[in-house]
Each structure stands twice: as C-alpha cells, then as structure tokens.
Amino acid sequence: MPDESLYPYVTGVGHAFFWCPDDALALKVRVALTDSDVIEVPLGEPGVICFLSDDMESLLPILEQRLLVEERRAVRALLSGSTRPSLREFGSMQSLQELGLRLSARWLGDMLMERRYKSLLQPIVSAADHNEIYGYECLIRGLHTDGTDIPAPVLFETADEAGMIYALDLAAGESAIRTAKHFDIKQNVFVNVLPYSVDTEEGLEIWLHSVVGEGGFPHEQLVFEIVESQQLPDFETLQRLVGRLKDRGIRIALDDFGTGFNNLATITQILPDFIKLDKSLTRDLVEDGRKWTLVANIVDSAKQSGIKVIAEGVEDKKTARMLESAGVDYLQGYLFGYPADTPL
C-alpha cells in the first residue's frame, strides 16, 4: 500500500470500483467503506462494488487498516476520476498492491524529472590525522515538494519495486558530481554505483556522459563504491568492471565489506583500491576482542595486496583508536561528521 505522500495522486471527486469475487470479502470492503460515509453506487455487476466519493484519497488508507495483506492482494480496484462509472473501466482494474506500486512509481518519477534530490556529504578522514579529510561520501536524499527529506531507503526500495533503480542510480551520481562541483571539492569524491549500471563499456559511457556531463569532472577524484544491493553474477564480471574503471583513472571501493560477495577471496582476485569495512565489523569492537582480531586480519590481508582500508560506522574515540591499532587507513562515521548539506 502506498504511503501518505502518494495519496494526492488519487484525489478528487470520482468513482472507486472494487472487484471482489469472494462474497465475504466483498462484504468486508462494503462495510469498511460505508462506515466512512462514501456513497455506494448500484451497478448490478456480479462481484463489482462502486463507490462515489469526494475524498478519493481516503479510500486506500481505510482499506489498508481494515483488510489483511492477503485480502488486499485479492481485491482488485480502480480509482477513477470520472464523474460517472463506466463498465469499460473494469478491464483495467488492478490489485490494491499493484495500484500502490503504480502510484509509488509516479511520485518517484515526478521527483526525478523535477530533480528534487540532493547529496549529503560525509567526511572520510585519515586515521593518522583526523584533521586531514581524505574525501567525502555523497549520499542521495529525495525532496518532497515542501522541501523535506525523503530517506534513501524509501527511495531505493520504491525504485527497486517499480523497476526504476537504474534511473535513481544515475540521479544519485549526477547529484554527487553537481554537489562536488558546487563546493569546488578538491578531495576524493566517493559515489555509490550499482555494478550493473557500469558493467559494460556502453553502460559506463552512458553513466559518465549522463552524470559527469560535458563540463567533465577529474576522474582521478572519483571513487566508485560498488554497493552490495546489486550483486554481479561472478568474479570475472567484477574483474572486468574494475579493469574498465582503472583504465579511465577511476578507483573502486568495495562497500559493506564482510557481507555478501565482499570477502577476502574477492579482494585477492579483483584488487580494488579500497575496501570499506561494514558497520557490523566495527560495531562493539571495544567489547569484542575476537571481532578486533578479525578486523586486524582483514586489514593485514588487504595491505599485503596494496589495498587501503576504510572503516565505517566509527562513533567514539575508543573504537577509532582500536581501528587505528589494527592498521586501518581511513575512518568514517558520526565521530568525524554526520552527513550534511555542506562539506566540513
């Protein structure tokens, strides 16, 4: 079901059609809506219920509250802005789940078309000198029409369900480069990139043209963070991707290291420029000696291969000191700066 930000797309006086082949389910829908003072329109069509309402946006949350998940999937619905019901519209009825997905895609599409998004900047500092900023990770946030933030998980979950993940990935990259240019950032710029967006020569060309633009951006400042959420099928594909990026002077970091395909076998085969230790490895490091030993072994293996290590999720000085003693090269976390609209 869509969240509140989606409801305005179904506003206005009109008819709501519901098709419920199950008589008991149809009765449940009828009771739920008539309790809410909408007017039932008699149609004489088996299993089809129609309501007239001047507050169309209220219908979806009412049903979300009253119906179970499996019942919402079983109900097929069409919210129509027409002033008179038409039987021709029954053919385009969707499940409530499908309707929510369509509305989700619409608000996300509008946001991308209107470029209502921005990048927050979180510093990455040297472990040897916390005053030395090595780079910034750029983190996308969407913007509601009133300017308030839309969290990244909402963006990516919606985009994934609606088949718009590639468009959102391009927007995140474009926003990162635009922000870096705006602030004339001279440090490294870490950009999250889905592997399949750039896993072919053509895909990389499209990404660079769409994101970097005609004005260009120094490739030697770019670090592509390959994110865990979209895995590549095999090491060979990942190796080719890393080689293709290095040929362009773009460095690569394996994000969320310690989960999924990111493991010690990976770094010895593809030799990224950086690995970013997942927060699960740095959390509770002070209390867990075994975890510190694991981190130290990972750092040692990376250094033997010439790979720099960035530790994420550093929130206190004790953790920072333990990571430094393990040999980590760079640190990132709330201790050094929250994601912010402006660089430090």
**Distance separating alpha carbons of residues 84 and 61, to the nearest angstrom:** 23
Architecture of the domain spanning 4-105: 2-Layer Sandwich (3.30)
pLDDT in tens, 22-62: 889 999 988 888 877 788 888 878 888 888 887 776 787 78
Does residue 237 surpass a pLDDT of 60? Answer: yes
Which pLDDT does position 222 carry in this prediction? 92
Least confident of 70-74, 210-214, 273-277: 210-214
pLDDT in tens, 124-179: 999 999 999 999 999 999 999 889 999 999 898 888 888 888 899 999 999 999 99
Structure tokens at 86: 């038409």
Please report which confidence band the pLDDT of residue 263 belongs to, taking 50, 70 and 90 as the band edges. low
CA distances from 168 to 109, 158, 165 (A): 9, 10, 5
Sheet holding 76-80, edge to edge: 39-41, 48-53, 14-19, 76-80, 94-95
Please report which confidence band the pLDDT of residue 231 belongs to, taking 50, 70 and 90 as the band edges. low
pTM value is 0.74
What is the average per-residue pLDDT within 228-246? 71
- Phi/psi for 280 (5° steps) reads -65, -25
Chain mean pLDDT for the chain: 84
Please report which confidence band the pLDDT of residue 232 belongs to, taking 50, 70 and 90 as the band edges. low
pLDDT in tens, 208-228: 888 876 567 888 999 999 865
What is the average per-residue pLDDT within 283-287? 86
Q: Which residue has the higher pLDDT, 5 or 294?
A: 294
**Distance separating alpha carbons of residues 312 and 336, to the nearest angstrom:** 11
Domain with CATH 3.30.70 in the chain: 4-105
What is the three-state SS of 202-241?
A: HHHHHHHHHHCCCCCCCHHHEEEEECCCCCCCCHHHHHHH
Angle at 315 between CA 312 and CA 319, to 5 degrees: 80
CB 223, CB 274: distance < 8 Å: yes
Which pLDDT does position 290 carry in this prediction? 87
Place of tokens 């009771």: 31
Q: Is 230 exposed, middle or buried (0-12, 13-18, 19+ CB in 10 A)?
A: middle
CATH of domain 115-332: 3.20.20.450
Domain with CATH 3.20.20.450 in the chain: 115-332
CA distances from 316 to 137, 180, 284, 290, 320 (A): 19, 28, 11, 19, 6
Which pLDDT does position 337 carry in this prediction? 95
Which pLDDT does position 10 carry in this prediction? 46
Give the best-scoring range by mean pLDDT among 199-203, 286-290, 305-309: 305-309
Query: First vs last Cα of the chain: how many Å apart?
Result: 40
Please report which confidence band the pLDDT of residue 1 belongs to, taking 50, 70 and 90 as the band edges. very low
Place of tokens 């740095």: 282
Which pLDDT does position 310 carry in this prediction? 97
